Amino acid sequence: MNYEQFLEQIKEDLTARFVTDLPPEYADVRIGIRDVEKLQGESYRGLSFRNGDSRVEVDLNLNPAFQAYEAGKPFQDLVKDVQMQIMEALDRTPKIDIDELSKYETIKPKLMMEIISQKGNEDKLQKIPHQKVEDLALIYRVDMGGSADGRMTSVVTNRQLEAFGITAEQLHQDALENAPITHPASLCSMREVMAEMTGTEPEEPAMLVATVEDGFMGASVIQYPGFMEQAAEQVGGDLFVLPSSIHEVLLIPDDGKADFHDLEAMVQSINEAQVAPEERLSDHVYHYDKTNRVFELAEKTAARNLAQEREKKAARDGAEKKPSVLAQLGERKKEATGHEPKAKTSERTAPEAAL
Protein backbone atom coordinates (compact mmCIF):
# COMPACT_ATOMS: atom_id res chain seq x y z
CA MET A 1 0.00 0.00 0.00
CA ASN A 2 1.05 3.61 -0.54
CA TYR A 3 1.49 6.23 2.18
CA GLU A 4 -2.09 7.55 1.94
CA GLN A 5 -3.49 4.03 2.30
CA PHE A 6 -1.07 3.39 5.17
CA LEU A 7 -2.40 6.46 6.99
CA GLU A 8 -6.02 5.44 6.50
CA GLN A 9 -5.42 1.89 7.74
CA ILE A 10 -3.46 3.09 10.81
CA LYS A 11 -6.25 5.56 11.63
CA GLU A 12 -8.94 2.87 11.30
CA ASP A 13 -7.09 0.31 13.45
CA LEU A 14 -6.16 2.83 16.15
CA THR A 15 -9.70 4.24 16.38
CA ALA A 16 -10.97 0.73 17.16
CA ARG A 17 -8.16 0.06 19.66
CA PHE A 18 -8.69 3.28 21.62
CA VAL A 19 -12.40 2.49 22.02
CA THR A 20 -12.16 -1.16 23.04
CA ASP A 21 -8.68 -2.13 24.23
CA LEU A 22 -7.29 0.79 26.25
CA PRO A 23 -7.95 2.36 29.68
CA PRO A 24 -11.08 4.55 29.94
CA GLU A 25 -9.12 7.82 29.94
CA TYR A 26 -8.23 7.12 26.29
CA ALA A 27 -11.69 6.02 25.16
CA ASP A 28 -12.59 9.42 23.74
CA VAL A 29 -9.41 9.93 21.72
CA ARG A 30 -10.29 11.25 18.27
CA ILE A 31 -7.92 10.56 15.39
CA GLY A 32 -7.80 12.27 12.03
CA ILE A 33 -5.54 12.88 9.04
CA ARG A 34 -4.37 16.32 7.98
CA ASP A 35 -1.61 18.29 6.28
CA VAL A 36 0.75 19.94 8.75
CA GLU A 37 2.65 23.04 7.66
CA LYS A 38 6.05 23.30 9.32
CA LEU A 39 9.04 25.60 8.98
CA GLN A 40 12.45 24.47 7.75
CA GLY A 41 10.95 22.37 4.93
CA GLU A 42 9.44 19.83 7.35
CA SER A 43 5.77 19.99 6.29
CA TYR A 44 4.04 16.60 6.15
CA ARG A 45 0.71 14.76 5.96
CA GLY A 46 0.11 12.72 9.08
CA LEU A 47 -2.19 11.86 11.97
CA SER A 48 -3.81 14.42 14.24
CA PHE A 49 -5.40 13.50 17.56
CA ARG A 50 -7.03 15.00 20.63
CA ASN A 51 -8.70 13.66 23.72
CA GLY A 52 -12.46 14.12 23.94
CA ASP A 53 -13.63 17.69 23.64
CA SER A 54 -10.15 19.14 24.12
CA ARG A 55 -9.36 21.89 21.64
CA VAL A 56 -5.66 21.04 21.79
CA GLU A 57 -4.81 18.93 18.76
CA VAL A 58 -1.48 17.14 18.42
CA ASP A 59 0.11 16.02 15.14
CA LEU A 60 2.26 12.99 14.39
CA ASN A 61 4.42 12.45 11.31
CA LEU A 62 4.09 8.83 10.17
CA ASN A 63 6.68 8.98 7.40
CA PRO A 64 9.28 7.17 9.60
CA ALA A 65 6.72 4.45 10.38
CA PHE A 66 5.88 4.05 6.69
CA GLN A 67 9.57 3.72 5.85
CA ALA A 68 9.84 0.97 8.49
CA TYR A 69 6.81 -0.75 6.92
CA GLU A 70 8.41 -0.63 3.47
CA ALA A 71 11.59 -2.06 5.00
CA GLY A 72 9.62 -5.10 6.21
CA LYS A 73 8.41 -4.34 9.73
CA PRO A 74 5.01 -6.01 10.41
CA PHE A 75 2.07 -3.63 10.14
CA GLN A 76 0.53 -4.59 13.48
CA ASP A 77 3.81 -3.90 15.26
CA LEU A 78 3.76 -0.43 13.76
CA VAL A 79 0.15 0.08 14.92
CA LYS A 80 1.25 -0.69 18.50
CA ASP A 81 4.22 1.67 18.18
CA VAL A 82 2.05 4.54 16.96
CA GLN A 83 -0.49 3.81 19.69
CA MET A 84 2.21 4.21 22.34
CA GLN A 85 3.43 7.46 20.75
CA ILE A 86 -0.09 8.90 20.85
CA MET A 87 -0.65 7.86 24.48
CA GLU A 88 2.69 9.34 25.56
CA ALA A 89 1.99 12.58 23.67
CA LEU A 90 -1.44 12.91 25.31
CA ASP A 91 0.03 12.25 28.76
CA ARG A 92 2.64 15.00 28.44
CA THR A 93 0.47 17.57 26.65
CA PRO A 94 0.06 20.51 29.04
CA LYS A 95 -3.43 21.67 29.97
CA ILE A 96 -4.11 24.71 27.82
CA ASP A 97 -7.02 27.14 27.92
CA ILE A 98 -7.48 27.97 24.26
CA ASP A 99 -9.89 30.82 25.05
CA GLU A 100 -7.24 32.47 27.23
CA LEU A 101 -4.65 32.10 24.47
CA SER A 102 -6.86 34.17 22.19
CA LYS A 103 -6.19 37.19 24.43
CA TYR A 104 -2.95 39.03 23.76
CA GLU A 105 -2.41 40.04 27.38
CA THR A 106 -2.43 36.32 28.25
CA ILE A 107 0.08 35.22 25.64
CA LYS A 108 2.33 38.29 25.92
CA PRO A 109 4.31 36.89 28.92
CA LYS A 110 4.74 33.62 26.98
CA LEU A 111 6.38 35.20 23.94
CA MET A 112 9.73 33.84 22.80
CA MET A 113 11.76 34.19 19.61
CA GLU A 114 13.27 31.88 17.03
CA ILE A 115 15.70 32.72 14.24
CA ILE A 116 15.52 30.70 11.03
CA SER A 117 16.79 30.81 7.46
CA GLN A 118 14.78 32.75 4.91
CA LYS A 119 15.81 30.24 2.27
CA GLY A 120 13.35 27.36 2.17
CA ASN A 121 10.83 29.22 4.35
CA GLU A 122 9.74 31.87 1.86
CA ASP A 123 6.10 30.70 1.60
CA LYS A 124 5.68 30.31 5.37
CA LEU A 125 7.20 33.72 6.08
CA GLN A 126 4.47 35.37 4.00
CA LYS A 127 1.97 34.16 6.60
CA ILE A 128 3.80 35.09 9.79
CA PRO A 129 5.17 38.35 11.21
CA HIS A 130 8.95 38.46 11.09
CA GLN A 131 12.04 40.66 11.00
CA LYS A 132 14.70 40.09 8.35
CA VAL A 133 18.25 39.77 9.69
CA GLU A 134 20.54 39.51 6.66
CA ASP A 135 19.50 36.17 5.06
CA LEU A 136 17.85 35.04 8.32
CA ALA A 137 14.40 35.80 9.77
CA LEU A 138 13.39 36.41 13.36
CA ILE A 139 9.95 34.95 14.14
CA TYR A 140 7.82 34.81 17.29
CA ARG A 141 6.40 31.89 19.22
CA VAL A 142 4.08 31.34 22.17
CA ASP A 143 5.69 29.01 24.72
CA MET A 144 2.94 26.79 26.11
CA GLY A 145 5.25 24.84 28.37
CA GLY A 146 6.24 21.22 28.36
CA SER A 147 8.11 18.57 30.25
CA ALA A 148 11.41 16.72 30.16
CA ASP A 149 10.16 15.07 26.96
CA GLY A 150 9.78 18.25 25.01
CA ARG A 151 8.27 21.71 24.74
CA MET A 152 5.06 22.81 23.05
CA THR A 153 5.18 26.11 21.16
CA SER A 154 3.06 27.81 18.55
CA VAL A 155 4.23 30.22 15.84
CA VAL A 156 2.41 33.58 15.89
CA THR A 157 0.69 34.12 12.53
CA ASN A 158 -0.54 37.21 10.69
CA ARG A 159 -4.10 36.04 11.33
CA GLN A 160 -3.48 35.93 15.08
CA LEU A 161 -1.84 39.35 14.96
CA GLU A 162 -5.01 40.74 13.38
CA ALA A 163 -7.18 39.01 15.99
CA PHE A 164 -5.03 40.42 18.81
CA GLY A 165 -5.43 43.90 17.36
CA ILE A 166 -1.72 44.74 17.56
CA THR A 167 0.98 45.65 15.07
CA ALA A 168 4.00 43.57 14.09
CA GLU A 169 6.18 46.31 15.64
CA GLN A 170 4.47 45.92 19.04
CA LEU A 171 4.82 42.13 18.87
CA HIS A 172 8.52 42.56 18.12
CA GLN A 173 9.13 44.96 21.00
CA ASP A 174 7.17 42.83 23.47
CA ALA A 175 9.10 39.71 22.44
CA LEU A 176 12.43 41.56 22.79
CA GLU A 177 11.48 42.55 26.34
CA ASN A 178 10.04 39.20 27.39
CA ALA A 179 12.32 36.58 25.82
CA PRO A 180 15.52 37.52 27.73
CA ILE A 181 13.55 37.18 31.00
CA THR A 182 11.72 33.90 30.35
CA HIS A 183 14.52 32.37 28.23
CA PRO A 184 17.75 33.91 29.60
CA ALA A 185 20.83 33.98 27.40
CA SER A 186 23.80 31.72 28.07
CA LEU A 187 27.34 32.57 26.98
CA CYS A 188 30.15 30.20 27.91
CA SER A 189 33.48 29.04 26.54
CA MET A 190 33.87 25.84 24.58
CA ARG A 191 36.11 24.66 27.41
CA GLU A 192 33.20 24.82 29.85
CA VAL A 193 30.93 22.96 27.42
CA MET A 194 33.49 20.19 26.82
CA ALA A 195 34.21 19.89 30.54
CA GLU A 196 30.50 19.40 31.23
CA MET A 197 30.18 16.81 28.47
CA THR A 198 33.37 14.82 29.11
CA GLY A 199 34.31 15.58 32.70
CA THR A 200 37.74 16.86 31.60
CA GLU A 201 39.06 20.31 30.86
CA PRO A 202 40.78 20.43 27.46
CA GLU A 203 42.96 23.30 26.34
CA GLU A 204 40.61 26.22 25.90
CA PRO A 205 39.88 27.11 22.29
CA ALA A 206 39.12 30.75 21.52
CA MET A 207 35.44 30.04 21.03
CA LEU A 208 32.21 30.88 22.85
CA VAL A 209 28.88 29.03 22.72
CA ALA A 210 25.85 31.33 22.65
CA THR A 211 22.35 29.98 23.36
CA VAL A 212 19.59 30.19 25.99
CA GLU A 213 19.71 28.44 29.36
CA ASP A 214 17.62 25.45 28.27
CA GLY A 215 19.20 25.38 24.79
CA PHE A 216 15.81 25.45 23.02
CA MET A 217 15.87 27.63 19.88
CA GLY A 218 18.74 29.53 21.46
CA ALA A 219 20.33 30.97 18.31
CA SER A 220 17.83 33.82 18.70
CA VAL A 221 20.09 35.33 21.43
CA ILE A 222 22.03 37.13 18.69
CA GLN A 223 19.00 39.45 18.52
CA TYR A 224 18.63 39.93 22.28
CA PRO A 225 19.20 43.61 23.17
CA GLY A 226 22.84 44.13 24.17
CA PHE A 227 23.85 40.48 23.80
CA MET A 228 26.34 40.87 20.95
CA GLU A 229 27.85 43.91 22.67
CA GLN A 230 28.36 41.80 25.79
CA ALA A 231 29.98 38.98 23.79
CA ALA A 232 32.31 41.41 22.00
CA GLU A 233 33.35 42.92 25.33
CA GLN A 234 34.10 39.46 26.69
CA VAL A 235 36.46 38.60 23.84
CA GLY A 236 37.76 42.13 23.48
CA GLY A 237 37.00 42.81 19.83
CA ASP A 238 35.09 41.90 16.67
CA LEU A 239 33.50 38.47 16.27
CA PHE A 240 32.73 35.84 13.67
CA VAL A 241 29.33 34.20 14.25
CA LEU A 242 29.05 30.55 13.16
CA PRO A 243 25.46 29.20 12.91
CA SER A 244 25.69 25.83 14.64
CA SER A 245 21.89 25.26 14.50
CA ILE A 246 18.62 27.01 15.34
CA HIS A 247 19.50 26.20 18.96
CA GLU A 248 22.95 27.80 19.27
CA VAL A 249 25.70 29.77 17.54
CA LEU A 250 29.48 29.76 18.01
CA LEU A 251 31.43 32.99 18.43
CA ILE A 252 35.08 33.26 17.35
CA PRO A 253 37.24 36.38 17.82
CA ASP A 254 38.15 38.14 14.58
CA ASP A 255 41.83 38.50 15.49
CA GLY A 256 43.17 38.16 11.96
CA LYS A 257 43.96 34.46 12.34
CA ALA A 258 40.78 33.11 10.72
CA ASP A 259 39.53 33.57 7.17
CA PHE A 260 35.75 33.60 6.78
CA HIS A 261 35.97 31.38 3.67
CA ASP A 262 37.56 28.60 5.75
CA LEU A 263 35.00 29.07 8.52
CA GLU A 264 32.14 28.94 6.01
CA ALA A 265 33.48 25.72 4.48
CA MET A 266 33.57 24.21 7.98
CA VAL A 267 29.98 25.27 8.73
CA GLN A 268 28.72 23.80 5.46
CA SER A 269 30.53 20.52 6.08
CA ILE A 270 29.14 20.17 9.61
CA ASN A 271 25.62 21.06 8.47
CA GLU A 272 25.70 18.37 5.82
CA ALA A 273 27.14 15.65 8.05
CA GLN A 274 25.80 16.35 11.54
CA VAL A 275 22.84 18.76 11.66
CA ALA A 276 19.30 17.57 10.93
CA PRO A 277 17.63 19.57 8.12
CA GLU A 278 14.89 20.87 10.43
CA GLU A 279 17.54 22.31 12.78
CA ARG A 280 19.88 23.93 10.23
CA LEU A 281 20.17 27.67 10.45
CA SER A 282 22.49 28.74 7.62
CA ASP A 283 25.52 27.77 5.56
CA HIS A 284 26.93 31.28 5.91
CA VAL A 285 29.19 32.93 8.47
CA TYR A 286 28.36 36.30 10.02
CA HIS A 287 30.44 39.09 11.54
CA TYR A 288 29.91 41.52 14.40
CA ASP A 289 31.73 44.86 14.39
CA LYS A 290 32.31 45.87 18.01
CA THR A 291 32.99 49.55 17.30
CA ASN A 292 30.06 50.21 14.98
CA ARG A 293 27.76 47.54 16.49
CA VAL A 294 27.02 46.02 13.09
CA PHE A 295 25.87 42.41 12.58
CA GLU A 296 26.15 41.31 8.94
CA LEU A 297 27.24 38.55 6.60
CA ALA A 298 31.01 38.06 6.88
CA GLU A 299 31.34 38.35 3.11
CA LYS A 300 30.01 41.92 3.33
CA THR A 301 32.59 42.80 5.97
CA ALA A 302 35.38 41.28 3.88
CA ALA A 303 34.22 43.13 0.75
CA ARG A 304 34.07 46.44 2.58
CA ASN A 305 37.50 45.93 4.15
CA LEU A 306 38.95 45.11 0.73
CA ALA A 307 37.39 48.24 -0.78
CA GLN A 308 38.82 50.37 2.02
CA GLU A 309 42.30 48.89 1.52
CA ARG A 310 42.12 49.66 -2.20
CA GLU A 311 41.08 53.24 -1.48
CA LYS A 312 43.97 53.68 0.94
CA LYS A 313 46.42 52.22 -1.58
CA ALA A 314 45.11 54.48 -4.31
CA ALA A 315 45.50 57.47 -2.01
CA ARG A 316 49.09 56.47 -1.16
CA ASP A 317 49.96 55.95 -4.81
CA GLY A 318 48.48 59.31 -5.68
CA ALA A 319 50.47 61.06 -2.97
CA GLU A 320 53.72 59.57 -4.24
CA LYS A 321 53.09 60.80 -7.81
CA LYS A 322 51.90 64.29 -6.80
CA PRO A 323 54.47 67.03 -7.81
CA SER A 324 55.87 69.41 -5.20
CA VAL A 325 54.40 72.88 -4.69
CA LEU A 326 57.51 74.57 -6.19
CA ALA A 327 57.34 72.36 -9.26
CA GLN A 328 53.67 73.20 -9.72
CA LEU A 329 54.47 76.97 -9.48
CA GLY A 330 57.25 76.58 -12.07
CA GLU A 331 54.89 74.83 -14.45
CA ARG A 332 52.28 77.53 -14.07
CA LYS A 333 54.90 80.30 -14.73
CA LYS A 334 56.06 78.50 -17.84
CA GLU A 335 52.49 78.31 -19.10
CA ALA A 336 52.05 82.06 -18.43
CA THR A 337 55.26 83.26 -20.30
CA GLY A 338 55.24 80.69 -23.01
CA HIS A 339 58.99 79.96 -22.62
CA GLU A 340 61.55 78.84 -20.13
CA PRO A 341 62.58 81.60 -17.70
CA LYS A 342 66.07 83.07 -18.35
CA ALA A 343 68.81 82.43 -15.87
CA LYS A 344 69.63 85.46 -13.76
CA THR A 345 73.12 87.14 -14.08
CA SER A 346 74.80 89.12 -11.38
CA GLU A 347 75.17 92.94 -11.93
CA ARG A 348 78.53 92.92 -10.04
CA THR A 349 81.72 91.91 -12.01
CA ALA A 350 84.97 90.57 -10.65
CA PRO A 351 88.00 93.09 -10.77
CA GLU A 352 90.51 92.53 -13.55
CA ALA A 353 94.18 91.92 -12.74
CA ALA A 354 96.56 94.96 -13.15
CA LEU A 355 99.42 94.68 -15.58
Q: Among the listed ranges 74-88, 199-213, 232-246, which one has the minimum average pLDDT value?
A: 199-213
Report d(CA 220, CA 246) in Å as an integer.
Answer: 8
The SS3 call for residue 176 is helix
Residue 85 has pLDDT above 80, yes or no: yes
Q: How confident is the model at residue 347 (pLDDT cuts 50, 70, 90)?
A: very low
d(CA 212, CA 226): 14
Whether 344 shows a pLDDT value over 50: the answer reads no
| 2-11, 194-203, 297-306, 342-351: least confident range | 342-351
Model confidence at 193: pLDDT above 60: no
Residue range 111-137: mean pLDDT, rounded: 95
pTM: 0.74
Closest CA to 28 of 19, 38, 37, 40: 19
pLDDT of residue 232: 94
pLDDT at 183 over 50: yes
CA distance 290 to 274: 31
Among residues 240, 242, 253, which one has the least CA distance to residue 204?
253
Q: What is the pLDDT of residues 251-274, one digit of tens each?
A: 999 988 888 899 999 999 999 999
Least confident of 137-146, 174-183, 186-195: 186-195
In this predicted structure, the answer to whether residue 352 has a pLDDT above a threshold of 50 is no
Rounded mean pLDDT of 112-136?
95
Question: Is the pLDDT score of 147 beyond 60?
Answer: no
Q: Would you state the pLDDT for residue 37?
A: 80
Distance between CA atoms of residues 51 and 166, nearest Å: 32
Percent of the chain with pLDDT over 70: 80
pLDDT for 192: 56
Which residues lie across from 287 on neighbouring strands? Answer: 240, 296
- Is there a contact between 85 and 60 (Cβ–Cβ < 8 Å)? yes
Lowest-confidence region among 105-109, 172-176, 313-317: 313-317
User: What is the structure's pLDDT at 334?
Assistant: 60
pLDDT at 154: 87
Q: What is the pLDDT of residue 142?
A: 93
Whether residue 217 has pLDDT greater than 90: yes
* Percent of the chain residues topping a pLDDT of 90: 51
pLDDT for 58 beyond 60: yes
How would residue 291 be classed by pLDDT, with cut points 50, 70 and 90?
Answer: very high
Q: What pLDDT score does 134 carry?
A: 96
Phi, psi angle pair for 95, to nearest 5°: -75, 120
Provide the residue ranges of all domains of the chain, joining segments of one domain with +: 3-93, 100-182, 185-304
The pLDDT mean for the chain works out to 83
Q: What is the pLDDT of residue 207?
A: 86
Q: 138-156 b/e with 16+ CB inside 10 Å = b?
A: bbbbbbbeeeeeebbbebb
Q: Is the pLDDT of residue 338 over 60?
A: no
| pLDDT at position 324 | 55
Residue 315 — pLDDT band, cuts 50, 70, 90? confident
Q: What is the pLDDT of residue 335?
A: 59
Neighbours of 306 (CB within 10 A): 10
Is a pLDDT exceeding 50 seen at residue 212? yes
Burial class (CB in 10 A: 0-12, 13-18, 19+), 42: middle
Element (H, E) at 51: strand 44-51
Q: What mean pLDDT do residues 202-214 have?
A: 78
Comparison of pLDDT for 322 and 43, the residue scoring more: 43
